[in-house]
């Protein structure tokens, strides 16, 4: 496994704004990418990472929360949303920036797992927020596009 370089918003001329392509076959190379993404996310102390954030335009997301564990989503889509939550949100591709966003409290995602099995995962709270955030990345959307208010340094501490 390897720690990959995380693409920063201002470092690569709009790369994070590109739409990711569907994965048509889960190959050993895709599974290596997934392993590297997990290691990269953990190394950066993040709770989610999309393939576009490591320079790969494929519809792959990894998410890990303390309460819910690790999820790998290939070609994910949100199939249900409910409720609302408002809170601070940040991004590994926008280090040092935080903002207040509104996201659904509950989200259900349908995807393939790393073995090609169709899965449905219902997330609540932080997991739901992470699912929305990471799936947005696959369509070139950043949390700053949905921010209600950016936080200043005193509020982040």
Which residues are identified as catalytic?
Answer: 134
* C-alpha–C-alpha distance, residues 51 and 34, integer Å: 8
* C-alpha–C-alpha distance, residues 124 and 88, integer Å: 16
State whether residue 64 is helix, strand or coil.
strand
Q: What is the dihedral of CA 155, 39, 109, 51, to 10 degrees?
A: 90
């Amino acid at each position: 496994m390897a720690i990959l370089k995380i693409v920063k918003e201002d470092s690569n001329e709009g790369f994070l704004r590109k739409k990711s392509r569907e994965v048509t076959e889960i190959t050993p190379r895709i599974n290596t990418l997934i392993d590297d993404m997990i290691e990269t996310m953990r190394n950066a102390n993040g709770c989610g990472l999309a393939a576009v954030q490591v320079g790969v335009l494929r519809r792959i997301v990894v998410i890990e929360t303390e309460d819910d564990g690790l999820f790998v989503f290939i070609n994910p889509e949100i199939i249900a949303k409910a409720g609302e939550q408002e809170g601070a949100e940040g991004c590994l591709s926008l280090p040092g920036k935080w903002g207040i966003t509104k996201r659904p409290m509950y989200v259900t995602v349908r995807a393939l797992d790393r073995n090609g099995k169709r899965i449905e995962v219902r997330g609540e709270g932080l997991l739901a927020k992470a699912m929305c955030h990471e799936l947005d990345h696959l369509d070139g959307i950043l949390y700053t596009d949905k921010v209600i208010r950016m936080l200043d340094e005193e509020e982040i501490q």
